[in-house]
Amino acid sequence: MQCSARPTSCIATYPGDFAQALIALDAAVEITGESGTKSMPFAQLHKSPGRSPQIETALAPGELISGFTIEGRWPRSVYLKARDRQSYEFALASAAIALDVQDGTVRDARIALGGVATMPWRAREAEALLKGQKYDEALARRVAEAAFAGANPKKHNAFKIDLGQRVVARALQQAVTMEV
């Protein structure tokens, strides 16, 4: 894919899978460079293309990722990916879900989306709908719709909204019903 100099003329989705899981698990990234080592929330690592699409991360020249830290507070977590082929294929839509559920009530939630934006996407509005609620299929549908409420589809990728919503709802179902 070739991008022109105009910032809105290139449409590409973030191709990885690992980042969504790290965002949903509230991971921190350790960065090492000439001035030493620093840490930051992994969710802040990737940059939106804006006027400089060549800058994809917050890494400065000479810095590299040297580690990750994940606190163990997410007893239920799921990564679900929809793709064209069973081989190693980029996600058409994916969701990483991390939940803290007690007695059927969602105490805390993280939802990260992949395959649908230029960077791994955290669905904070959808997370807010889950918190303090008893899980059921109607809630899953509302959460999935909220995760894509701000989507701006183009002519050839509008199908990703419906697909992404189904992936989120299925991943939520899997996370809620998993044995811990």
pLDDT by residue for the chain (180 residues), tens digit each?
333 344 455 667 888 889 999 999 999 999 999 999 999 999 999 988 878 888 889 999 999 999 999 987 788 999 999 988 777 788 999 999 999 999 889 999 999 999 988 889 999 999 999 999 999 999 999 999 999 998 988 888 999 999 999 999 999 999 999 987
Instruction: Say what the alpha-carbon torsion angle 74, 43, 95, 119 is, to the nearest 10 degrees.
Output: -170
Q: Which domain holds residue 89?
A: 76-177
Q: Does pTM surpass 0.95?
A: no
Q: Are residues 36 and 97 in the same domain?
A: no
**Contacts within 8 Å (CB) and 24+ apart, 55-63:** 56/119, 59/31, 60/33, 62/33, 62/34, 63/31, 63/32, 63/33
Axis-axis angle for helices 159-177, 137-147 (nearest 10) = 140
- Give domain status of residue 4, yes or no: no
Last residue in a domain, options 46, 69, 92? 69
If one counts the domains in the chain, the total is 2
Do residues 41 and 80 share a domain? no
Whether 32 and 113 share a structural domain: no
